[in-house]
């Protein structure tokens, strides 16, 4: 068990081993036992009155904490709750060897080294952001991501369900959202500086409400919480293509401006009207979404990259703003997001926003901030009393290439390396104790302009995701992380993950030869971070910080 990843709080090797037969009996409370069995499907443990595997529950440990002891006589687990039992199972799975990560084997027994593990996470939010709006991923890929998260003790799946390029959920109260907003006729293939070119292939898809119920239940059973994102009031082309009456122009009684689901990357000036009718419309959609997902402790409402020009130019919206006693369109941006957060709070969900919403001000005190534009604005949000989930472009935007090389598949920019992620500190020691206490954790972002399918997602997510799993679970990557990762890659191979090898892409993963080559240094992440930090201090902070389509 010396190659555990993420690194546990404590591990003591005691010598010897225990032979654990497949189909062995497991005893203990039903909930934790079910979670343990789900973490170890290859073992086919059977609930029984007695057996070599025993589970006890001790809530004093904390829901996600556990102790695992293997002796020559058997396996004993003490778990703080169902999640703790599940994570104990994942640790035991690693101790069994890489073959335990296959869907099925012909083995009748497994040799487990004896030892004791005591473990609990450093951060409560250990997340993955999956953009299914730019490129839709079928349900099977979402469920697979849940499995990969669970294997790494990651516990928040942030689904970016809405953007200019697509709306991805069924709506029965507003069916045009999925009937019109879920597909586009083509997708741009040219890069910045090139003449526009498109693939002329329709792209689309959406999850039914039944799919969402399934995804949430599947995730919940694996200690993963789904965090849905409906990004408003900007990034609204797909919404307005379906319901143009929600746009700012229509607020003045004029013919609504025509909108289409965007077929190119970048950011549209399309923005929803902030009038009460829009709040009512979105509230009905949120009710439908929450009804499908079940208990949903967090809902992301976006707030990023909003061009407020249409609000400023609208007499009706200006009159409404003045009636509210608000001085600037940015104040109305803050008011709009707070109203949605109030509605969600009444339904038992905390709002989550990108950092532009914090800069606009007037957030509910319980609103969680995701500061994508750097740790400077993150510290300001924490100082203001907001819980923070660290999401900075550097080093947690995994749509950036892992090296500045033409061998890489096309990416928005470069470079964010495995070592960069492993060195990340979500709660820097330079912050005050109060500021550090506001950091819930961190998550990596998989924006999908350059991620058309599951193979591309695998390549970008892993093994950099392994590094963030260790950082968020263990508090920091251990000095021996590279050595443990080398052995952990055998587990990824058994799981069928098409990760990027630390030494570089495999021949079929290379840029070129039918794939667009990466353009090294076309977008430099260090320059991006400087510009983003500057933007967080401007009065016009909501305006998009990065123009164009990336690489």
**Rounded to an integer, what is the distance from CA 299 to the centroid of its chain?**
12
Place of tokens 């971070």: 529
Q: Which of 305, 356, 449, 470 is catalytic?
A: 305
The answer to whether 157 and 226 are in contact (CB under 8 A) is yes
User: What is residue 151's DSSP assignment?
Assistant: H
Burial class for 537, CB neighbours closer than 10 Å (0-12, 13-18, 19+): exposed
Place of tokens 């920019």: 413
Place of tokens 């992301």: 300
The answer to whether 161 and 230 are in contact (CB under 8 A) is yes
Which 3-state string (H, E, C) describes 37-103?
A: HHHCHHHCCEECCCCCEEEEECHHHCCCCEEEEEECCEEEEEECCHHHHHHHHHHHHHHHCHHHHCC
Q: Where are the beta strands (DSSP E) in 262-345?
A: 298-302
The answer to whether 169 and 159 are in contact (CB under 8 A) is no
Contacts of 134 (CB under 8 A, 6+ apart): 163, 165, 166, 265, 447, 448, 449, 451
Pick the closest to residue 451 from 224, 140, 141, 147 (CA basis).
Answer: 141
Q: Where are the beta strands (DSSP E) in 374-491?
A: 388-390, 439-446
Our answer to whether residue 305 is catalytic in this structure is: yes
Respond yes or no on whether the N-terminal peptide bond of residue 6 is cis (omega within 30° of 0).
Answer: yes
Output phi, psi for 127, to 5 deg.
-120, 165
Tokens at residue 211, please?
Answer: 């799919």
Rounded to whole angstroms, the Cα distance separating 65 from 70 reads 17
Enumerate the β-bridge partners of residue 129: 158, 445
The answer to whether 406 and 505 are in contact (CB under 8 A) is no
The answer to whether 316 and 251 are in contact (CB under 8 A) is yes
**Rounded to an integer, what is the distance from CA 298 to the centroid of its chain?**
12
Pick the closest to residue 392 from 528, 544, 268, 297 (CA basis).
Answer: 528
Tokens at residue 66, please?
Answer: 């556990």
Contacts of 106 (CB under 8 A, 6+ apart): none
Cβ count within 10 A of residue 25: 16
Which 3-state string (H, E, C) describes 197-211?
A: CECCCCEECCECHHH
Tokens at residue 1, please?
Answer: 């068990």
Query: Annotated active-site positions, please?
Result: 305
């Amino acid at each position: 068990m010396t190659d555990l990843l993420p690194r546990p709080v404590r591990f003591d090797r005691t010598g010897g081993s225990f032979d654990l037969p497949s189909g062995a009996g497991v005893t203990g409370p039903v909930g934790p036992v079910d979670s343990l069995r789900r973490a170890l499907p290859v073992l086919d443990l059977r609930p029984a009155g007695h057996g070599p595997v025993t589970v006890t529950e001790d809530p004093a440990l904390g829901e996600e904490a556990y102790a695992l002891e293997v002796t020559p006589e058997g396996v004993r687990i003490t778990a703080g709750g169902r999640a703790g039992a599940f994570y104990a199972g994942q640790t035991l799975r690693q101790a069994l060897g890489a073959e335990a990560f296959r869907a099925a084997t012909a083995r009748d027994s497994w040799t487990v080294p004896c030892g004791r593990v005591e473990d609990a996470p450093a951060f409560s939010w250990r997340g993955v952001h999956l953009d299914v709006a730019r490129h839709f991923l079928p349900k099977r890929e979402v469920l697979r991501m849940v499995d990969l998260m669970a294997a790494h003790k990651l516990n928040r799946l942030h689904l970016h369900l809405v953007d200019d390029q697509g709306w991805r959920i069924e709506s029965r109260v507003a069916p045009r959202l999925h009937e019109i907003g879920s597909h586009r006729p083509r997708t741009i293939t040219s890069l910045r500086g090139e003449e526009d070119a498109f693939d002329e292939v329709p792209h689309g898809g959406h999850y039914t409400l039944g799919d969402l119920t399934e995804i949430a239940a599947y995730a919940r059973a694996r200690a993963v919480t789904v965090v849905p994102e409906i990004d408003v009031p900007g990034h609204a082309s797909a919404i307005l293509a379906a319901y143009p009456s929600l746009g700012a122009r229509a607020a003045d009684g004029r013919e609504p401006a025509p909108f289409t689901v965007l077929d190119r990357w970048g950011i549209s000036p399309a923005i929803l009207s902030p009038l009460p009718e829009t709040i009512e419309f979105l509230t009905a959609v949120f009710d439908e979404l929450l009804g499908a997902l079940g208990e949903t402790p967090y809902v992301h409402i976006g707030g990023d990259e909003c061009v407020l020009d249409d609000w400023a130019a609208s007499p009706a919206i200006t009159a409404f703003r003045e009636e509210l006693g608000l001085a600037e369109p940015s104040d109305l941006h803050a008011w709009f997001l707070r109203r949605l957060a109030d509605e969600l709070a009444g339904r038992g969900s905390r709002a989550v926003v990108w950092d532009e919403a914090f800069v606009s001000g007037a957030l509910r005190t319980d609103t969680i901030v995701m500061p994508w534009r750097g740790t400077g604005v993150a510290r300001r949000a924490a100082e203001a009393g907001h819980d923070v989930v660290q999401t900075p472009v550097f080093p947690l935007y995994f749509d950036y290439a892992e090296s500045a090389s033409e061998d890489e598949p096309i990416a928005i920019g470069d470079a964010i390396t495995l070592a960069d992620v492993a060195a990340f500190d979500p709660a820097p020691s330079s912050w005050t104790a109060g500021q550090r206490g506001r950091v819930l954790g961190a998550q990596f972002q998989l924006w999908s302009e350059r991620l058309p399918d599951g193979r591309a997602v695998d390549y970008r997510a892993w093994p950099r995701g392994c590094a963030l799993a260790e950082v968020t679970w263990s508090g920091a990557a251990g000095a021996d992380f590279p050595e443990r990762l080398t052995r952990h890659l055998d587990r990824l191979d058994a799981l069928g993950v098409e990760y990027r090898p630390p030494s570089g892409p495999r021949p079929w993963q290379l840029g070129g030869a039918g794939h667009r080559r990466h353009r090294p240094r076309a977008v430099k992440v260090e320059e991006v971070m400087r510009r983003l930090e500057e933007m967080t201090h401007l009065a016009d902070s909501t305006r998009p910080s990065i123009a164009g389509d990336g690489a």
